[in-house]
Amino acid sequence: MAMMLRALARTGTTLAPAPVAPHRLANIYTAVTAVRSSTATGTWSHGRYLTSSRIANERASSSIGSGQGGRADKDKRLRDKEREAKEKLKAKELRTKEKERKDKEKEKKQLQRVRDKEKREKEKEKRVRDRERARAAREKTKATETKSKTRSILRLPKVPQNTWQIFLEEYITEKKQQLGPGEKLPSVTVLTKDAVPRYRSLEGAEKQALQDRYQAARDAYPAILDAWQKTLTPEMIRKENVVRANRRRLGLSRKRALRIDGEPKKPLTPFFRFCNEIRAEGANSSVLQGETDITKQSQLLARAWKALSLEELKPYQDAYAGAQEQYKRDMAEWSAEQERTAQLSA
């Protein structure tokens, strides 16, 4: 029935009225009108007729841009735009804040790296200073130890003064005696400069008198030194010999070791025994070949010693071994005697 009515509506064909009940006629009229309207406006949906109320609603909704409904939609669009603008602004602010946060974090990290670098540099400088202090302390300790090892605890008798020293000492004494009340003695440097021309101008008897005084003091010094050495104990002499050995090793002195009265002498080594035998033959021996210089003689002796065979070396080695055994026995007896003497003196 619906399809037929739709076809009739398209063609505009009318049918002859049939005897129909009045209420049914009204329904048919309404249906035909709806079909025509839906065909013209496209409100036909899925093969169903739209009722008059639904058609009115559709028409009201399709009337955009006119009347009160258009203003509401425009306001809605404005609100949507404002909301979108606010959301964009908010998103931009969030991005700006995030960028600022990242920049601050980056700056903080850079500042921390700078601080860490400064800290490492300070620690490095501190380590360098500590190493320098430690090295200085070691050098100071070493210098102190070296000084203690090379400083003699003995006070030798004063070595005789030469003629210039005698004259300068007397000149300074004379200047002291000539000082008046409140006067100050000039420095030693000034007095020395003043004394030099006077010393050089000495003649005859004055100069000879100074020379005689120096010679007399020099002749008396060995006896003074021997008397002083007799006051030393064996332990004092041993310590002094250690100091002298250290000074010779460092090139600070060439003094020989002191000898203790009665102490056994160490035996000559095989090489020095050989050297003594060759030197006893004289400079014209086959080894020295007429050489008189001590240094060159030592070189010739060392060369000849290295050229000896084992059989030629054996007599010197045997002699040294026997002398070494005798030295140990003599040293033991002498040490025991020294201990007994020390106990008795205590």
Concatenate the DSSP letters of all residues of 204-247 into one string. Answer: HHHHHHHHHHHHHHHHHHHHHHHHHHHT--HHHHHHHHHHHHHH
Whether 36 shows a pLDDT value over 80: the answer reads no
Last residue of a domain, one of 129, 150, 171: 150
CATH number reported for the structural domain that contains residue 291 in this entry: 1.10.30
Residue 243 lies in a domain: no
**Tokens representing 339?**
């201990």
Where does a domain end: 150, 182, 199? 150
Q: Does 346 lie in the same domain as 277?
A: yes
CA–CA–CA angle 231, 154, 148 (5° rounding): 150
Domain boundary among 61, 86, 105: 61
Give domain status of residue 170, yes or no. Answer: no
Answer yes or no: do 318 and 279 share one domain: yes
The total number of structural domains in the chain stands at 3
Mean pLDDT of the chain: 81
pLDDT given for residue 119 in this prediction: 93
79 and 54, same domain (yes or no):
no
Check whether residue 78 and residue 55 sit in a common domain.
Answer: no
| pTM beyond 0.75, yes or no | no
What is the model's pLDDT at position 314? Answer: 93
**Residue 195 lies inside a defined structural domain of this protein:** no
Find the domain containing 97 and state its range.
72-150
Q: Are 132 and 220 in contact (CB under 8 A)?
A: no
Whether residue 113 is found in the same domain as residue 54: no
Co-location of 45 and 106 in the same domain? no
* Assigned domain for 296 exists: yes
pLDDT at 45: 45
Domain assignment present for residue 241? The answer is: no
Q: Which of 50-59, 78-87, 290-299 has the lowest mean pLDDT?
A: 50-59
Tokens 């104990």, located at residue: 233
User: Is residue 208 assigned to a domain?
Assistant: no
Q: In terms of domains, do 40 and 80 share one?
A: no
Task: Give the span between the Cα atoms of 191 and 332, in whole angstroms.
Answer: 58
Which DSSP letter does residue 15 get?
Answer: -
- What's the Cα-to-Cα distance from 84 to each of 79, 87, 88, 96, 97, rounded to whole Å? 8, 5, 6, 18, 20
Asked if residue 345 has pLDDT above 80, the reply is: no
Which region among 15-24, 81-90, 91-100, 295-304 has the lowest average model confidence (pLDDT)? 15-24
Residue 255 resides in a domain: no
Residues 6+ apart with CB under 8 A from 36: 9
Mean per-residue pLDDT, 107-119: 92
263 within some domain: no
Q: Are residues 121 and 86 in the same domain?
A: yes
Q: Which strand (E) or helix (H) includes residue 125?
A: helix 67-150
Q: Is the dihedral of CA 128, 132, 133, 138 positive or negative?
A: positive
